[in-house]
Amino acid sequence: MDLVVIRSARANDLPRAEALLRDAQLPLDGFREHLADAMVAEQDSEIVGCVALEVYGEAALLRSLVVSPAERGRDLGRRLTSEALRLAKDRGSRDVYLLTETADRFFPRFGFSRLDRSQAPAALLASVEFQSACPKSAIFMHTRLS
């Protein structure tokens, strides 16, 4: 595998990151607005993965974790998630939440456990992810940063 670098997202990364999200059938709503708190995985000048945060003070919503099909199974999802959690901590968040329809078995390795959606902080409940982007059937998860 060629070297994959994880770095902060830039405006010119947006089209490829959105294409990855679209191909994986993940929501685009709100992603552009949170690009400042997004990270991309770059390999040979190509964006092969991304993840973003929506930061609401001490709470953050981890969203838009995606890895290109050709790069799956190579530990990139773990690396992106670890970097997103580090970024959340750097931004002052103590708690990180997420919604998922397909990755509820992936996130417990980072300390995430399921919660009832009614336990979400008010700022998250008002987010695009909760209001319209993610279906009501999405699993709500949480971890506390140490």
Sort strands 95-100 and 46-56 into parallel, antiparallel or unpaired. unpaired
Number of domains, the chain: 1
Q: Tell me which residue has tokens 């970024």.
A: 87
Residue numbers of the domain that contains 91: 5-144
User: What's the predicted TM-score (pTM) here?
Assistant: 0.93
* pLDDT (0 to 100) of residue 128: 80
* pLDDT (0 to 100) of residue 138: 87
Kind and range of the H or E run holding 95: strand 95-100
| Separation between Cα atoms, residue 29 and residue 33, nearest integer Å | 9
| Separation between Cα atoms, residue 114 and residue 76, nearest integer Å | 23
Give residue 44's identity as a one-letter amino acid code: D
**CB pairs under 8 A, 24+ apart, for 26-33?**
26/64, 26/66, 27/64, 27/128, 27/129, 27/133, 27/134, 29/128, 29/129, 29/132, 29/133, 30/54, 30/63, 30/127, 30/128, 30/129, 30/133, 31/63, 31/64
We report the CATH number of the domain holding residue 108 as: 3.40.630.30
Give residue 39's identity as a one-letter amino acid code: M
What stretches in the chain show pLDDT beneath 50?
1
* pLDDT (0 to 100) of residue 130: 77
- Residue 112 contacts residue 142 (beta carbons within 8 Å): yes
* pLDDT (0 to 100) of residue 125: 86
